[in-house]
Amino acid sequence: MIKRRKLRSQASQQPSGNSVSPLGTDLKANLQRMKQSMGHSNDLVVREFRIGYVQGDAAIVYIDNLVDKKMIGEFVLRSTMSGAAGSESNASERDIDVLDTIKNRILPLGEASIAKEWNELFSAVLNGDTAILVSGYAGAIIVSTHGGEHRSVEEPSSEVLIRGPKEGFTESIATNISLVRRRLKTRNLWMDGFKIGNVTQTNVGILYIKGIAGDKTVEEVKRRLNGIETDGVLESGIIEEFIRDHPFSLFPTLDNTERPDSVAAGLLEGQVAILIDGTPFVLLAPTTFFMFFQSPEDHYHNFQFAIFIRTLRFVAFMISLLGPSIYVAAISFHQEMIPTSLLLSLAAQREGVPFPALIEAFLMEASFEILREAGVRMPRAIGQAVSIVGAIVLGQAAVQAGIVSSAMVIVVSLTGIASFTMPAYNMGISIRMLRFMLMISAGLFGFFGIALGGLIITAHLCSIRSFGIPFMSPFAPFIAADQKDTLLRLPRWFLNTRPRLISQENTTRMNGSKPVPPGEAAEEGSPDEN
Protein backbone atom coordinates (compact mmCIF):
# COMPACT_ATOMS: atom_id res chain seq x y z
CA MET A 1 0.00 0.00 0.00
CA ILE A 2 2.76 2.39 0.81
CA LYS A 3 4.48 1.64 -2.46
CA ARG A 4 1.39 2.36 -4.46
CA ARG A 5 0.91 5.64 -2.70
CA LYS A 6 4.44 6.66 -3.54
CA LEU A 7 4.05 5.84 -7.20
CA ARG A 8 0.86 7.77 -7.40
CA SER A 9 2.40 10.82 -5.82
CA GLN A 10 5.32 10.58 -8.13
CA ALA A 11 3.04 10.59 -11.07
CA SER A 12 1.16 13.59 -9.81
CA GLN A 13 4.32 15.52 -9.23
CA GLN A 14 5.32 15.61 -12.82
CA PRO A 15 3.61 18.14 -15.02
CA SER A 16 1.84 16.76 -18.00
CA GLY A 17 3.95 16.00 -20.95
CA ASN A 18 7.32 14.32 -21.25
CA SER A 19 9.67 16.72 -19.70
CA VAL A 20 12.84 15.10 -20.73
CA SER A 21 12.29 15.01 -24.41
CA PRO A 22 14.20 17.37 -26.63
CA LEU A 23 12.68 20.08 -28.72
CA GLY A 24 11.72 19.41 -32.21
CA THR A 25 12.55 21.59 -35.19
CA ASP A 26 9.06 22.56 -36.15
CA LEU A 27 8.39 25.99 -34.80
CA LYS A 28 4.66 25.82 -35.02
CA ALA A 29 4.54 22.47 -33.27
CA ASN A 30 6.81 23.72 -30.51
CA LEU A 31 4.72 26.80 -29.95
CA GLN A 32 1.52 24.81 -29.95
CA ARG A 33 2.92 22.42 -27.43
CA MET A 34 4.01 25.21 -25.18
CA LYS A 35 0.62 26.83 -25.21
CA GLN A 36 -1.09 23.54 -24.59
CA SER A 37 1.10 22.63 -21.66
CA MET A 38 0.23 25.85 -19.99
CA GLY A 39 -3.44 25.46 -20.76
CA HIS A 40 -3.44 28.42 -23.13
CA SER A 41 -2.85 30.74 -20.22
CA ASN A 42 -3.23 34.30 -21.30
CA ASP A 43 -0.03 35.49 -19.79
CA LEU A 44 2.12 33.23 -21.94
CA VAL A 45 3.02 35.60 -24.72
CA VAL A 46 4.19 34.35 -28.06
CA ARG A 47 5.56 36.92 -30.47
CA GLU A 48 6.48 35.68 -33.88
CA PHE A 49 8.92 37.53 -36.09
CA ARG A 50 11.61 37.05 -38.66
CA ILE A 51 15.25 36.80 -37.70
CA GLY A 52 17.41 38.72 -40.06
CA TYR A 53 20.38 36.45 -39.76
CA VAL A 54 18.59 33.34 -40.80
CA GLN A 55 15.95 34.97 -42.90
CA GLY A 56 13.49 32.62 -41.30
CA ASP A 57 10.61 32.49 -38.87
CA ALA A 58 11.20 32.73 -35.20
CA ALA A 59 9.23 33.43 -32.10
CA ILE A 60 9.92 34.63 -28.64
CA VAL A 61 8.04 33.19 -25.75
CA TYR A 62 7.82 34.81 -22.38
CA ILE A 63 5.48 35.19 -19.50
CA ASP A 64 3.95 38.56 -19.18
CA ASN A 65 4.88 40.51 -16.03
CA LEU A 66 7.78 38.26 -15.24
CA VAL A 67 9.96 39.97 -17.80
CA ASP A 68 11.27 43.37 -18.46
CA LYS A 69 9.53 44.16 -21.70
CA LYS A 70 11.81 47.02 -22.52
CA MET A 71 14.75 44.69 -22.48
CA ILE A 72 12.94 42.35 -24.82
CA GLY A 73 12.04 45.07 -27.20
CA GLU A 74 15.43 46.79 -27.20
CA PHE A 75 17.82 43.97 -26.98
CA VAL A 76 16.11 40.88 -28.22
CA LEU A 77 13.75 41.92 -30.92
CA ARG A 78 15.66 44.81 -32.33
CA SER A 79 18.97 43.04 -32.54
CA THR A 80 17.58 39.88 -33.98
CA MET A 81 15.22 41.49 -36.37
CA SER A 82 17.71 43.78 -37.84
CA GLY A 83 20.59 41.37 -38.25
CA ALA A 84 22.06 40.81 -41.65
CA ALA A 85 21.71 37.50 -43.25
CA GLY A 86 24.37 34.97 -42.31
CA SER A 87 26.59 33.16 -44.71
CA GLU A 88 25.47 29.87 -46.12
CA SER A 89 27.27 26.78 -45.06
CA ASN A 90 26.67 23.13 -44.46
CA ALA A 91 23.09 22.50 -43.41
CA SER A 92 23.73 19.93 -40.70
CA GLU A 93 26.33 22.02 -39.01
CA ARG A 94 24.09 24.98 -39.10
CA ASP A 95 21.79 23.63 -36.49
CA ILE A 96 24.03 24.32 -33.68
CA ASP A 97 26.01 26.97 -35.36
CA VAL A 98 23.09 29.20 -36.04
CA LEU A 99 21.69 29.26 -32.58
CA ASP A 100 25.16 29.64 -31.19
CA THR A 101 26.00 32.36 -33.62
CA ILE A 102 22.86 34.25 -32.83
CA LYS A 103 23.65 33.88 -29.19
CA ASN A 104 27.27 34.77 -29.53
CA ARG A 105 27.19 37.48 -32.13
CA ILE A 106 23.81 39.04 -32.25
CA LEU A 107 22.30 39.16 -28.80
CA PRO A 108 23.79 41.92 -26.71
CA LEU A 109 22.38 40.61 -23.46
CA GLY A 110 24.16 39.62 -20.30
CA GLU A 111 23.09 36.03 -19.90
CA ALA A 112 22.26 33.71 -22.69
CA SER A 113 22.29 29.95 -23.08
CA ILE A 114 20.86 27.25 -25.30
CA ALA A 115 18.17 24.89 -24.08
CA LYS A 116 17.64 21.53 -25.69
CA GLU A 117 15.13 19.90 -23.38
CA TRP A 118 11.57 20.85 -22.66
CA ASN A 119 11.87 21.08 -18.90
CA GLU A 120 14.86 23.37 -19.28
CA LEU A 121 12.79 25.54 -21.53
CA PHE A 122 9.82 25.68 -19.20
CA SER A 123 11.90 26.23 -16.17
CA ALA A 124 13.63 29.17 -17.79
CA VAL A 125 10.48 30.77 -19.14
CA LEU A 126 8.69 30.37 -15.83
CA ASN A 127 11.58 32.04 -14.14
CA GLY A 128 11.26 35.17 -16.19
CA ASP A 129 13.62 34.42 -19.05
CA THR A 130 12.65 34.78 -22.68
CA ALA A 131 12.97 31.87 -25.07
CA ILE A 132 13.77 32.43 -28.69
CA LEU A 133 12.67 29.58 -30.95
CA VAL A 134 13.90 29.50 -34.50
CA SER A 135 12.09 27.54 -37.12
CA GLY A 136 14.03 24.52 -38.25
CA TYR A 137 16.41 24.31 -35.39
CA ALA A 138 16.04 22.02 -32.40
CA GLY A 139 16.81 24.18 -29.50
CA ALA A 140 15.92 27.48 -28.02
CA ILE A 141 18.01 30.40 -26.93
CA ILE A 142 17.29 31.46 -23.43
CA VAL A 143 18.07 35.01 -22.49
CA SER A 144 17.73 36.47 -19.08
CA THR A 145 15.21 39.27 -19.00
CA HIS A 146 14.09 39.26 -15.41
CA GLY A 147 11.80 42.05 -14.57
CA GLY A 148 8.37 42.62 -13.25
CA GLU A 149 7.12 44.26 -10.08
CA HIS A 150 9.15 43.85 -6.95
CA ARG A 151 8.97 45.45 -3.60
CA SER A 152 11.72 47.99 -3.23
CA VAL A 153 14.30 47.79 -0.51
CA GLU A 154 12.69 49.21 2.62
CA GLU A 155 13.24 49.26 6.32
CA PRO A 156 12.67 45.81 7.77
CA SER A 157 9.43 45.79 9.66
CA SER A 158 10.18 43.06 12.12
CA GLU A 159 13.57 44.23 13.34
CA VAL A 160 13.69 47.91 13.88
CA LEU A 161 16.87 49.46 15.14
CA ILE A 162 17.63 52.90 16.31
CA ARG A 163 21.09 52.89 14.94
CA GLY A 164 22.08 50.84 11.99
CA PRO A 165 21.39 50.40 8.31
CA LYS A 166 17.77 50.65 7.32
CA GLU A 167 17.92 48.24 4.47
CA GLY A 168 15.92 45.07 4.67
CA PHE A 169 15.70 42.06 2.45
CA THR A 170 13.01 41.83 -0.21
CA GLU A 171 11.29 38.90 -1.85
CA SER A 172 13.70 38.69 -4.74
CA ILE A 173 16.58 36.41 -4.05
CA ALA A 174 18.80 38.21 -6.52
CA THR A 175 18.34 41.51 -4.72
CA ASN A 176 18.98 39.86 -1.42
CA ILE A 177 22.19 38.26 -2.51
CA SER A 178 23.32 41.57 -3.88
CA LEU A 179 22.60 43.25 -0.55
CA VAL A 180 24.90 40.78 1.16
CA ARG A 181 27.57 40.93 -1.48
CA ARG A 182 27.71 44.66 -1.16
CA ARG A 183 28.71 44.23 2.45
CA LEU A 184 31.15 41.38 2.01
CA LYS A 185 33.28 42.21 -0.96
CA THR A 186 35.46 39.16 -0.65
CA ARG A 187 36.01 36.60 -3.28
CA ASN A 188 35.62 33.93 -0.61
CA LEU A 189 31.91 34.59 -0.35
CA TRP A 190 30.62 31.59 -2.22
CA MET A 191 27.11 30.84 -3.28
CA ASP A 192 25.36 27.61 -4.15
CA GLY A 193 21.94 27.40 -5.75
CA PHE A 194 19.15 24.87 -5.37
CA LYS A 195 15.69 24.48 -6.72
CA ILE A 196 13.45 23.10 -4.02
CA GLY A 197 9.81 22.21 -4.29
CA ASN A 198 8.40 20.19 -7.13
CA VAL A 199 5.62 22.54 -7.98
CA THR A 200 7.02 25.84 -6.84
CA GLN A 201 10.56 25.25 -8.07
CA THR A 202 11.70 27.87 -5.59
CA ASN A 203 15.17 29.25 -5.96
CA VAL A 204 17.12 28.65 -2.79
CA GLY A 205 20.67 29.79 -2.34
CA ILE A 206 23.22 29.37 0.39
CA LEU A 207 25.95 31.83 1.12
CA TYR A 208 29.04 31.20 3.13
CA ILE A 209 32.56 32.49 3.43
CA LYS A 210 34.94 29.80 2.40
CA GLY A 211 37.63 29.37 4.97
CA ILE A 212 35.61 30.79 7.82
CA ALA A 213 32.54 28.60 7.75
CA GLY A 214 33.19 25.02 8.71
CA ASP A 215 33.38 22.76 5.71
CA LYS A 216 31.42 20.07 7.45
CA THR A 217 28.66 22.49 8.27
CA VAL A 218 28.39 23.59 4.66
CA GLU A 219 28.31 19.99 3.52
CA GLU A 220 25.62 19.21 6.04
CA VAL A 221 23.49 22.14 4.96
CA LYS A 222 23.78 21.13 1.34
CA ARG A 223 22.94 17.56 2.17
CA ARG A 224 19.84 18.48 4.06
CA LEU A 225 18.61 20.89 1.43
CA ASN A 226 19.08 18.29 -1.25
CA GLY A 227 17.07 15.86 0.77
CA ILE A 228 13.90 17.94 0.82
CA GLU A 229 11.07 16.33 -1.12
CA THR A 230 8.00 18.43 -1.18
CA ASP A 231 5.41 20.20 -3.25
CA GLY A 232 6.14 23.72 -2.46
CA VAL A 233 8.35 26.00 -0.53
CA LEU A 234 6.83 29.38 0.06
CA GLU A 235 8.72 30.64 3.04
CA SER A 236 11.94 30.03 4.89
CA GLY A 237 9.95 28.57 7.74
CA ILE A 238 9.00 25.62 5.61
CA ILE A 239 12.62 24.92 4.77
CA GLU A 240 13.47 25.37 8.42
CA GLU A 241 11.05 22.68 9.42
CA PHE A 242 12.57 20.28 6.96
CA ILE A 243 16.18 20.76 7.88
CA ARG A 244 16.08 21.40 11.61
CA ASP A 245 17.72 19.03 14.01
CA HIS A 246 14.98 18.44 16.51
CA PRO A 247 11.59 18.77 14.90
CA PHE A 248 9.66 18.20 18.12
CA SER A 249 11.54 20.56 20.32
CA LEU A 250 9.86 23.82 21.23
CA PHE A 251 13.04 25.75 20.72
CA PRO A 252 14.17 27.03 17.35
CA THR A 253 17.59 25.89 16.20
CA LEU A 254 17.88 28.18 13.19
CA ASP A 255 17.84 31.91 13.36
CA ASN A 256 16.07 34.04 10.80
CA THR A 257 16.51 37.67 10.04
CA GLU A 258 15.34 40.36 7.65
CA ARG A 259 18.48 42.42 7.91
CA PRO A 260 21.46 42.18 5.58
CA ASP A 261 23.86 43.43 8.22
CA SER A 262 22.86 40.60 10.57
CA VAL A 263 23.47 38.10 7.81
CA ALA A 264 26.80 39.65 7.00
CA ALA A 265 27.84 39.55 10.66
CA GLY A 266 26.74 35.94 10.89
CA LEU A 267 28.69 35.00 7.81
CA LEU A 268 31.75 36.63 9.28
CA GLU A 269 31.42 34.39 12.29
CA GLY A 270 31.20 31.29 10.22
CA GLN A 271 27.52 30.74 9.82
CA VAL A 272 25.84 29.67 6.60
CA ALA A 273 23.00 31.81 5.25
CA ILE A 274 20.08 30.22 3.42
CA LEU A 275 18.17 32.59 1.17
CA ILE A 276 14.81 31.67 -0.29
CA ASP A 277 13.17 33.38 -3.21
CA GLY A 278 9.85 34.85 -2.25
CA THR A 279 10.54 35.77 1.33
CA PRO A 280 12.67 38.42 2.95
CA PHE A 281 13.51 36.15 5.89
CA VAL A 282 16.91 34.56 5.59
CA LEU A 283 17.94 31.55 7.67
CA LEU A 284 21.23 31.32 9.47
CA ALA A 285 22.76 28.07 10.60
CA PRO A 286 24.13 26.87 12.97
CA THR A 287 22.63 28.84 15.81
CA THR A 288 23.14 28.71 19.53
CA PHE A 289 20.72 29.65 22.27
CA PHE A 290 22.50 32.86 23.11
CA MET A 291 22.35 34.19 19.61
CA PHE A 292 18.66 34.69 20.07
CA PHE A 293 19.45 37.25 22.70
CA GLN A 294 21.72 39.29 20.53
CA SER A 295 20.67 42.15 18.38
CA PRO A 296 22.96 43.78 15.82
CA GLU A 297 22.45 47.02 17.66
CA ASP A 298 24.59 45.74 20.52
CA HIS A 299 27.59 46.12 18.29
CA TYR A 300 26.74 49.57 17.07
CA HIS A 301 26.35 51.23 20.43
CA ASN A 302 29.07 51.48 23.04
CA PHE A 303 29.93 48.38 24.92
CA GLN A 304 28.74 49.46 28.35
CA PHE A 305 25.29 49.96 26.98
CA ALA A 306 25.52 46.63 25.23
CA ILE A 307 26.38 44.84 28.45
CA PHE A 308 23.55 46.58 30.24
CA ILE A 309 21.01 45.79 27.56
CA ARG A 310 22.02 42.19 27.19
CA THR A 311 21.79 41.63 30.92
CA LEU A 312 18.41 43.31 30.86
CA ARG A 313 17.27 41.02 28.09
CA PHE A 314 18.30 38.00 30.04
CA VAL A 315 16.50 39.21 33.12
CA ALA A 316 13.44 39.92 31.01
CA PHE A 317 13.66 36.43 29.61
CA MET A 318 13.64 35.01 33.11
CA ILE A 319 10.72 37.19 34.09
CA SER A 320 8.68 36.29 31.06
CA LEU A 321 9.34 32.61 31.58
CA LEU A 322 8.98 32.42 35.32
CA GLY A 323 6.89 35.43 36.29
CA PRO A 324 3.42 34.00 36.61
CA SER A 325 4.80 30.70 37.90
CA ILE A 326 6.61 32.34 40.78
CA TYR A 327 3.57 34.39 41.62
CA VAL A 328 1.29 31.37 41.63
CA ALA A 329 3.78 29.32 43.64
CA ALA A 330 4.28 32.03 46.23
CA ILE A 331 0.58 32.76 46.62
CA SER A 332 -0.56 29.19 46.79
CA PHE A 333 2.25 27.37 48.55
CA HIS A 334 4.86 29.59 50.02
CA GLN A 335 2.96 32.42 51.58
CA GLU A 336 5.67 32.78 54.16
CA MET A 337 8.07 34.12 51.60
CA ILE A 338 6.03 37.23 50.96
CA PRO A 339 6.68 40.21 53.25
CA THR A 340 3.82 40.63 55.65
CA SER A 341 2.53 43.98 54.47
CA LEU A 342 2.52 42.81 50.86
CA LEU A 343 0.79 39.63 51.89
CA LEU A 344 -1.94 41.55 53.65
CA SER A 345 -2.43 43.69 50.61
CA LEU A 346 -2.66 40.66 48.36
CA ALA A 347 -5.00 38.90 50.74
CA ALA A 348 -7.27 41.89 50.75
CA GLN A 349 -7.31 41.92 46.96
CA ARG A 350 -8.13 38.28 46.71
CA GLU A 351 -10.99 38.40 49.16
CA GLY A 352 -13.66 38.55 46.54
CA VAL A 353 -12.00 36.61 43.77
CA PRO A 354 -13.74 33.31 43.12
CA PHE A 355 -10.95 31.47 41.33
CA PRO A 356 -7.91 29.75 42.73
CA ALA A 357 -4.66 31.45 41.83
CA LEU A 358 -3.71 28.97 39.14
CA ILE A 359 -6.98 29.27 37.27
CA GLU A 360 -6.85 33.02 37.53
CA ALA A 361 -3.34 33.08 36.14
CA PHE A 362 -4.37 30.85 33.28
CA LEU A 363 -7.35 33.01 32.43
CA MET A 364 -5.33 36.17 32.44
CA GLU A 365 -2.49 34.74 30.43
CA ALA A 366 -4.88 33.26 27.91
CA SER A 367 -6.72 36.56 27.46
CA PHE A 368 -3.43 38.35 27.10
CA GLU A 369 -2.39 35.95 24.36
CA ILE A 370 -5.73 36.42 22.60
CA LEU A 371 -5.35 40.16 22.82
CA ARG A 372 -1.88 39.99 21.45
CA GLU A 373 -2.87 37.90 18.48
CA ALA A 374 -5.84 40.10 17.80
CA GLY A 375 -3.64 43.15 17.92
CA VAL A 376 -1.36 41.70 15.28
CA ARG A 377 -4.15 40.89 12.81
CA MET A 378 -6.19 43.99 13.29
CA PRO A 379 -6.29 46.47 10.44
CA ARG A 380 -4.30 49.44 11.48
CA ALA A 381 -7.16 51.79 11.98
CA ILE A 382 -8.84 49.63 14.60
CA GLY A 383 -5.61 48.37 16.16
CA GLN A 384 -5.32 51.26 18.55
CA ALA A 385 -8.84 50.87 19.77
CA VAL A 386 -8.27 47.21 20.49
CA SER A 387 -5.33 47.87 22.73
CA ILE A 388 -7.20 50.51 24.64
CA VAL A 389 -10.25 48.33 24.96
CA GLY A 390 -8.23 45.35 25.97
CA ALA A 391 -5.95 46.92 28.45
CA ILE A 392 -8.03 49.46 30.17
CA VAL A 393 -11.52 48.23 29.93
CA LEU A 394 -10.94 44.54 30.33
CA GLY A 395 -8.23 44.80 32.93
CA GLN A 396 -9.76 47.51 35.01
CA ALA A 397 -13.27 46.23 34.74
CA ALA A 398 -12.23 42.69 35.57
CA VAL A 399 -10.46 43.86 38.68
CA GLN A 400 -13.33 45.98 39.85
CA ALA A 401 -15.83 43.26 39.21
CA GLY A 402 -13.74 41.06 41.44
CA ILE A 403 -13.04 38.44 38.84
CA VAL A 404 -9.28 38.81 38.99
CA SER A 405 -7.02 40.55 41.44
CA SER A 406 -4.99 43.60 40.49
CA ALA A 407 -1.75 41.90 41.42
CA MET A 408 -2.41 39.24 38.83
CA VAL A 409 -3.04 41.89 36.17
CA ILE A 410 0.25 43.51 37.06
CA VAL A 411 2.13 40.23 36.92
CA VAL A 412 0.63 39.25 33.60
CA SER A 413 1.28 42.59 31.96
CA LEU A 414 4.85 42.72 33.23
CA THR A 415 5.41 39.26 31.86
CA GLY A 416 3.91 40.18 28.55
CA ILE A 417 6.00 43.28 28.20
CA ALA A 418 9.12 41.44 29.23
CA SER A 419 8.53 38.91 26.51
CA PHE A 420 8.63 41.67 23.91
CA THR A 421 12.22 42.48 24.68
CA MET A 422 13.27 39.31 22.97
CA PRO A 423 14.91 40.36 19.72
CA ALA A 424 14.11 37.04 18.10
CA TYR A 425 10.43 36.41 17.63
CA ASN A 426 10.75 32.67 17.27
CA MET A 427 12.34 32.37 20.69
CA GLY A 428 9.61 34.57 22.06
CA ILE A 429 6.91 32.19 20.95
CA SER A 430 8.70 29.23 22.47
CA ILE A 431 8.79 31.03 25.76
CA ARG A 432 5.14 31.88 25.63
CA MET A 433 4.27 28.25 25.36
CA LEU A 434 6.71 27.10 27.99
CA ARG A 435 5.31 29.64 30.38
CA PHE A 436 2.02 27.81 30.49
CA MET A 437 3.66 24.51 31.27
CA LEU A 438 5.67 26.02 34.06
CA MET A 439 2.53 27.61 35.44
CA ILE A 440 0.89 24.24 35.68
CA SER A 441 3.83 22.71 37.49
CA ALA A 442 3.97 25.70 39.80
CA GLY A 443 0.31 25.36 40.56
CA LEU A 444 0.75 21.71 41.42
CA PHE A 445 3.92 21.77 43.44
CA GLY A 446 5.01 25.31 44.13
CA PHE A 447 8.70 25.98 43.95
CA PHE A 448 9.45 22.30 43.77
CA GLY A 449 7.47 22.16 40.56
CA ILE A 450 9.24 25.19 39.13
CA ALA A 451 12.62 23.72 40.02
CA LEU A 452 11.82 20.40 38.37
CA GLY A 453 10.36 22.12 35.35
CA GLY A 454 13.45 24.26 35.06
CA LEU A 455 15.66 21.20 35.27
CA ILE A 456 13.75 19.45 32.53
CA ILE A 457 13.88 22.49 30.28
CA THR A 458 17.58 23.04 30.88
CA ALA A 459 18.38 19.41 30.29
CA HIS A 460 16.40 19.51 27.08
CA LEU A 461 18.23 22.63 25.96
CA CYS A 462 21.54 21.02 26.74
CA SER A 463 20.71 17.97 24.71
CA ILE A 464 19.86 19.61 21.42
CA ARG A 465 22.34 20.48 18.77
CA SER A 466 22.14 22.81 15.83
CA PHE A 467 23.99 21.33 12.89
CA GLY A 468 26.36 19.58 15.23
CA ILE A 469 27.00 22.46 17.60
CA PRO A 470 25.66 22.01 21.13
CA PHE A 471 22.82 24.45 21.51
CA MET A 472 23.93 25.88 24.81
CA SER A 473 27.51 26.66 23.94
CA PRO A 474 29.42 28.68 24.94
CA PHE A 475 28.01 28.10 28.41
CA ALA A 476 27.80 24.38 28.33
CA PRO A 477 30.38 23.29 27.27
CA PHE A 478 31.99 26.33 28.75
CA ILE A 479 34.32 28.03 26.34
CA ALA A 480 35.99 30.92 28.09
CA ALA A 481 37.19 32.57 24.92
CA ASP A 482 33.68 32.95 23.60
CA GLN A 483 32.31 34.68 26.65
CA LYS A 484 33.40 37.97 25.15
CA ASP A 485 30.36 38.18 23.01
CA THR A 486 27.65 36.15 24.66
CA LEU A 487 26.05 37.80 27.62
CA LEU A 488 28.54 40.60 27.69
CA ARG A 489 30.03 42.47 24.89
CA LEU A 490 33.58 43.42 25.51
CA PRO A 491 35.01 46.42 23.73
CA ARG A 492 35.73 46.02 20.07
CA TRP A 493 39.45 45.62 20.44
CA PHE A 494 38.94 42.52 22.60
CA LEU A 495 36.75 40.73 20.13
CA ASN A 496 39.51 39.21 18.11
CA THR A 497 38.42 35.60 17.96
CA ARG A 498 35.42 34.02 16.39
CA PRO A 499 33.15 31.56 18.22
CA ARG A 500 35.19 28.47 18.40
CA LEU A 501 32.73 25.79 17.56
CA ILE A 502 31.14 27.52 14.63
CA SER A 503 34.18 28.68 12.77
CA GLN A 504 36.38 25.78 13.60
CA GLU A 505 39.29 26.44 11.34
CA ASN A 506 39.66 30.12 11.17
CA THR A 507 39.15 31.61 14.57
CA THR A 508 41.25 34.71 14.55
CA ARG A 509 39.92 37.93 13.26
CA MET A 510 42.33 40.75 12.85
CA ASN A 511 43.78 42.04 16.05
CA GLY A 512 41.84 45.11 16.92
CA SER A 513 43.72 48.07 18.22
CA LYS A 514 42.60 50.10 21.15
CA PRO A 515 41.88 53.70 20.33
CA VAL A 516 44.68 55.99 21.46
CA PRO A 517 43.95 59.52 22.60
CA PRO A 518 45.51 62.15 20.37
CA GLY A 519 48.01 63.46 22.91
CA GLU A 520 49.89 60.24 23.03
CA ALA A 521 50.41 59.96 19.32
CA ALA A 522 53.64 61.28 17.91
CA GLU A 523 53.52 65.00 17.68
CA GLU A 524 54.00 66.61 14.36
CA GLY A 525 54.33 70.19 15.23
CA SER A 526 51.93 72.29 17.18
CA PRO A 527 49.20 74.20 15.48
CA ASP A 528 50.32 77.29 17.29
CA GLU A 529 53.14 77.87 15.00
CA ASN A 530 52.57 80.68 12.71
Partner 1 sequence: MLKEKINARQLFSLIVLFELGTALVLPIGFVAHRDVWLSILLALIGGILLFLIYDQIVRQYPESTFVGSIRQIMGTYAGSLIGFLYLGFFIHNDARVLRETGELLVTSAYDMTPLFVICAFFMLTVVYVVSKGVEVLARTGEIYLLHVLILGGGGTILILCSGIVHVENLLPVMEDGAGKVLESAYRYILMFPFGEMICFAAILPSLNRTSSGRKAGILALIASGTILSAAHAIEVSILGSNIYGRSTFPLFLAVSKINIMDFIQRMDGLVILTLIITSFFKCAINCYAAITVAADLFRVREPMKLAMPVGLVVLFNSMMTSNDWPEFALKGKVVIMGILLPVYSIAIPVGLLAVHWIRRSIGSKSV
Partner 2 sequence: MRTRSASSLMLIGLLLIPLTGCWNSRELRDLSIIGAIGIDKLPDKPGYKVSFQIINPSAVAMTGNGGGGSQAGMPVTVYTGTGSSIFEVIRKTSRLSPRQLFFSHIRLIVIGETLASEDLSHLFDFFERSHEVRLTTKLVVSRGSSAEQLLQVLTPLERIPSDAVYGKLESTESIWSESMVTGVDDVINRLIGPGKQLLISGVRILGDQDKGGEKANLDKTKLPAEIEIKGIALFKNGRLETWLDGGKARGALRIQDKMKSSVVTVPCKDHDDPAAIAAIEITRSRTKVKATVVDGEPAFRVYVREEGNVGEVSCAVDLSKKEAIEELEQRWRSKTKQEIREAIEAAQSRSSDVYGFGEVLNRSYPRTWKKLEDRWSEVFADCEIEVHVESFIRRSGMRTKPYIKE
Interface residues toward partner 2, by CB under 8 A: 331-333, 335-336, 340, 343-353, 356-358, 406, 443-446
Instruction: Rank residues 228 and 440 by Cβ distance to partner 1 and give the closer one.
Output: 440
Which positions ≥6 away from 59 have C-beta within 8 Å?
27, 31, 46, 47, 48, 49, 132, 133
Which positions ≥6 away from 87 have C-beta within 8 Å?
none
Among 85, 337, 366, 490, binds partner 1 (CB under 8 A): 337
Q: Judge contact between 116 and 133, C-beta under 8 A.
A: no
Picked from partner 1, partner 2, none, the partner binding residue 476 (CB below 5 to 8 A depending on kind) is partner 1
For the segment 432-461, give every residue that binds partner 1 (CB under 8 A).
Answer: 445-449, 451-452, 455-456, 458-459
Q: What angle do CA 16, 18, 23 make, to 5 degrees?
A: 120
Q: At what angle do helices 173-183 and 260-269 cross, to 10 degrees?
A: 60
Picked from partner 2, partner 1, none, the partner binding residue 351 (CB below 5 to 8 A depending on kind) is partner 2
Instruction: Rank residues 132 and 326 by Cβ distance to partner 1 and give the closer one.
Output: 326
Q: Report cis status (omega within 30 of 0) of the bond before 474.
A: yes
Rounded to an integer, what distance in angstroms lies between the CA atom of residue 457 and that of residue 412?
22
Residue 336 touching partner 1 (CB under 8 A): yes
Q: Judge contact between 165 and 260, C-beta under 8 A.
A: yes
Q: Minimum CB separation from partner 1 for residue 179, in Å? A: 37
Residue 248 touching partner 1 (CB under 8 A): no
Instruction: Rank residues 218 and 472 by Cβ distance to partner 1 and give the closer one.
Output: 472
Q: Minimum CB separation from partner 1 for residue 428, in Å? A: 21
For the segment 135-194, give every residue that binds partner 1 (CB under 8 A).
Answer: none
Q: Minimum CB separation from partner 1 for residue 422, in Å? A: 19
CA 353 to chain centre: 46
Rounded to an integer, what distance in angstroms lies between the CA atom of residue 111 and that of residue 166?
31
Burial per residue of 312-333, b for 16 or more beta-carbon CB atoms within 10 angstroms, e otherwise: ebeebbebbbbbbbbbbbbbbb
Among the listed residues 55, 37, 11, 25, the one whose alpha carbon sits nearest the alpha carbon of residue 119: 37
Q: Minimum CB separation from partner 2 for residue 357, in Å? A: 7
Residue 470 touching partner 1 (CB under 8 A): yes
Rounded to an integer, what distance in angstroms lies between the CA atom of residue 513 and that of residue 491?
10
Alpha-helical runs (H) found in 244-356? 260-269, 297-300, 303-332, 340-349
Instruction: Rank residues 274 and 346 by Cβ distance to partner 2 and give the closer one.
Output: 346
Q: Minimum CB separation from partner 2 for residue 435, in Å? A: 19
2 — phi, psi (to 5°)? -70, -40
Q: Minimum CB separation from partner 1 for residue 462, in Å? A: 4
60 — phi, psi (to 5°)? -110, 145
Picked from partner 1, partner 2, none, the partner binding residue 459 (CB below 5 to 8 A depending on kind) is partner 1
Picked from partner 2, partner 1, none, the partner binding residue 352 (CB below 5 to 8 A depending on kind) is partner 2
For the segment 292-321, give every residue that binds partner 1 (CB under 8 A).
Answer: none
Q: Judge contact between 168 and 160, C-beta under 8 A.
A: no
Among 122, 292, 333, 467, binds partner 1 (CB under 8 A): 333
Q: Minimum CB separation from partner 2 for residue 350, in Å? A: 5
Q: Is the dihedral of CA 372, 374, 377, 381 positive or negative?
A: negative
Q: Minimum CB separation from partner 1 for residue 63, in Å? A: 52
Instruction: Rank residues 33 and 465 by Cβ distance to partner 1 and give the closer one.
Output: 465
Q: Minimum CB separation from partner 1 for residue 129, in Å? A: 51
Q: Residue numbers of the site for partner 1 (CB under 8 A)? A: 330, 333-334, 336-337, 339, 445-449, 451-452, 455-456, 458-459, 462-463, 470, 472, 475-478
